[in-house]
Amino acid sequence: MPLYETVMQEKPPVVLDIGTAYTKLGFAAEAYPRKIIPTEYISSANGESKKLFNYETLQEFYDQMVDFLQMIFFKYLLVSPKDRKIVIVENVYGQTVIRETLAKVLFRHYEVASVLYVPSHMIALSTLAVPNGVIVDMGYAETTVMPVFSGVQIMQAFQDQKYGGRDIHEVLKCLLLKEGIDSHLLTEEVLEDIKVRTCFITKLSRAHAYAENNPPQAPPDVQYPIADKAIITVPGHVREEAFEIFFEENNDRDSLPHLILKAILGCPLDVRRILCENIFVVGGSSIVMGLLPRLKEELQYLVANDKEYQKRLHGDIIFKFHKCLGRANIAAWLGASLCASTDLVNSRSLTKEAYMRFERVPDWICLDDNRVNG
């Protein structure tokens, strides 16, 4: 029998990580996504490009999802979705309407064989082959923190806040407008490129100096060309201050270091030290120079000087961070790709027959879906 008849007998599952800003897509057992595209669709009605999650009615969202998946399957992956297995990365606290609509489109419109939803935090941790950790997901719309111990998510300790890449763009735009730069030049694409190419996170000592109105010597300015339109100057203090939104102190104590400590303190006493030594930062907004050293400085500073944390975290606490395999923005997709190459895609997926029988997607919060048989 020819080799290709055995190796290619079964179609490889498609792996999708649909985020607020970008979508990663590819196949199982691959180390990198085939494509990373904006989470936008081209309307089949008028040909306009729109954000996927901007909708008013469920029917409108359904139609948008059909157009979006058609673009993924037939333009980028170049495969027929019929009778193919799909693995989807999702936030465990994501909206039910999104997962239900996505399943409805896949099963009814594209007639896929099965769909497997995998939790983003735990599947990202699986790339490290470690059972314990605090996963910090810094996305475009929000930042979430989920502790995992022995491969089980500690749901009651989950923390999240509505700041992410979108808020960094807003802060960066405000800072550049104060420098007299024309607002028409500062599009979303330009702001993102400036953020990635020029900005960084400063040290804790310099951040304290800025907070005390005693700014230190600023880093060098950067000349940034915007296509053929103009060349703008990005001041050094703007490069240094753009990401401070993650570390701002306020009465709600909801900065990123506080979120991590709250998540750890929400776990049982005997697992806290292990979690402190296994922090894993992922997400597109985490790809910035200086994040992990600053985060470690902030955590050590709070444990040493904050009375609340001194009372509840005893002994010499040392915070340690894992390094990502590959880029941090594809960690969850990579974990799903590994998962899709195992037998889990056969044993844990929702099949087309099961979906057609019940017309719903099983959910972990529903007791009927988690009842022990027998």
- 8 A C-beta contact, residue 68 and residue 54: no
The pLDDT assigned to 313 comes to 87
Burial of 56 (C-beta count, 10 Å sphere; 0-12/13-18/19+):
exposed
Query: How many CA atoms lie less than 13 Å away from 104 in the CB half-sphere?
Result: 15
Q: What SS3 class is residue 25? A: strand
Supply the CATH classification number for the domain 131-161+253-312.
Answer: 3.30.420.40
Digit-by-digit pLDDT tens for the chain (374 residues) are 343 333 345 789 999 999 999 999 999 999 999 999 999 998 877 778 899 999 999 999 999 999 999 999 999 999 999 999 999 999 999 899 999 999 999 999 999 999 999 999 999 999 999 999 999 999 999 999 999 999 999 999 999 998 899 999 999 999 999 999 999 999 999 999 999 999 999 999 999 998 888 889 999 999 999 988 889 999 999 999 999 999 998 888 899 999 999 999 999 999 999 999 999 999 999 999 999 999 999 999 999 999 999 988 887 899 999 999 889 999 999 999 999 999 999 999 999 999 999 888 988 777 667 665 54
Residues forming beta bridges with residue 115, ordered by sequence position: 86, 350
The pLDDT assigned to 4 comes to 38
Question: Superfamily for 14-123+329-369?
Answer: ATPase, nucleotide binding domain (3.30.420.40)
Instruction: Tell me how many degrees the CA angle 272-275-276 measures, rounded to the nearest 5.
Output: 85
The pLDDT assigned to 46 comes to 79
The residue among 55, 135, 123 whose CA lies nearest residue 95 is 55
For 92, phi then psi, to 5°, come to -65, -25
The pLDDT assigned to 5 comes to 39
CATH of 165-246, one of 3.90.640.10, 1.25.40.10, 1.10.287.3510, 3.40.50.740: 3.90.640.10
| Helix (H), strand (E), coil (C) string for 33-85 | CCEEEECEEECCCCCCEEECCCCCCHHHHHHHHHHHHHHHHHHHHCCCCCCCE
The residue among 163, 153, 146, 156 whose CA lies nearest residue 252 is 163
Burial of 23 (C-beta count, 10 Å sphere; 0-12/13-18/19+):
buried
Q: Where are the domains of the chain?
A: 14-123+329-369, 131-161+253-312, 165-246
